[in-house]
């Protein structure tokens, strides 16, 4: 037991390891935002009695998936090795998974944007079908994106540190934050319909970023989250303006 602790927790006395841990926790939480937005939008389409269960299962599955991927770290590292080349670019399994996940996100976000713009024409939207098919269909779709985001998350962790214990702690803390934040975020999206369109725009942008990354065109995450933050700030100002306008209308005799 003493040898095990010495092997996996000898970094406790290293200040740089603590800096790496805190940095990785922040990165994992930020990477989890994409996952949270998707889960919130999808579960809000379910009947009320199924929403909490679907969110818990979705985030629980994200944690399990990340921990299982960490347990097979040697396999995950090899996912970045090219398996074939096309147009001068070597594609790895990670690239293919990111491209598939990006296409799925772009298709799903586009379908839901169409449904939001034209609510009468929603016969072929998977978001609409999720209510009909029930919680099982919603969880299946959440699991698909959990896999994509989990692989990206773990590869980020591997690039940050060599200490497996630091990776486990960062992932567990980040998913715990997701579990705490998912209900407030889902409720906020449900109460503010305009936020839905903004969130769908985020998913569309994230999907395109995943595709670009898989094709070998890396877009720095800082640019993506800066754009999301700016858009959220503009929407917050719009919401504030609408509320003040509504109050003034109520105060008028």
CA distance 216 to 66: 24
Structure tokens at 54: 């679907």
Q: In this structure, are residues 235 and 198 in contact, taking their beta carbons and an 8 Å threshold?
A: yes
Which 3 state secondary structure label does DSSP give 78?
helix
Summarize pLDDT for 60-95 with one digit per residue, the tens: 888 888 888 777 766 766 677 788 887 777 888 878
Q: In this structure, are residues 185 and 192 in contact, taking their beta carbons and an 8 Å threshold?
A: no
Structure tokens at 75: 């396999």
Structural domain boundaries in the chain: 16-219
**Predicted pLDDT at 180:** 86
Least confident of 61-75, 154-168, 182-196, 234-248: 154-168
Q: In this structure, are residues 40 and 189 in contact, taking their beta carbons and an 8 Å threshold?
A: yes
The residue among 51, 179, 211 whose CA lies nearest residue 171 is: 179
Average pLDDT, the chain: 76
Rg, Å, the chain Cα set = 20
Summarize pLDDT for 115-162 with one digit per residue, the tens: 777 666 554 444 444 444 567 777 888 888 777 777 777 776 766 666
Share of the chain above pLDDT 90, in %: 0
């Amino acid at each position: 037991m003493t040898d095990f602790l010495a092997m996996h927790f000898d970094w406790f006395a290293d200040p740089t390891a603590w800096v790496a841990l805190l940095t990785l926790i922040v990165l994992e939480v930020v990477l989890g935002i994409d996952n949270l937005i998707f889960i919130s939008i999808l579960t809000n389409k379910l009947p009320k009695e199924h929403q909490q269960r679907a969110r818990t299962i979705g985030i629980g599955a994200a944690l399990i998936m990340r921990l299982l991927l960490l347990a097979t770290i040697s396999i995950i590292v090899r996912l970045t090795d090219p398996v074939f080349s096309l147009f001068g670019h070597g594609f790895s399994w990670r690239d293919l998974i990111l491209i598939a996940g990006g296409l799925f996100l772009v298709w799903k976000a586009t379908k839901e944007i169409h449904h939001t713009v034209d609510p009468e024409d929603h016969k072929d939207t998977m978001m609409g079908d999720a209510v009909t098919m029930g919680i099982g269909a919603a969880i299946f779709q959440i699991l698909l994106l959990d896999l994509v985001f989990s692989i990206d998350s773990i590869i980020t962790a591997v690039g940050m540190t060599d200490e497996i214990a630091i990776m486990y702690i960062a992932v567990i803390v980040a998913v715990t934050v997701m579990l705490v934040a998912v209900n407030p975020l889902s409720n906020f999206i449900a109460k503010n319909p305009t936020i839905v369109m903004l969130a769908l725009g985020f998913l569309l942008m994230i999907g395109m970023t995943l595709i670009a990354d898989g094709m070998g065109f890396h877009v720095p995450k800082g640019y993506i989250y800066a754009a999301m933050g700016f858009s959220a700030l503009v929407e917050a100002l719009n919401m504030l303006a609408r509320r003040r306008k509504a109050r003034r209308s109520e105060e008028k005799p």
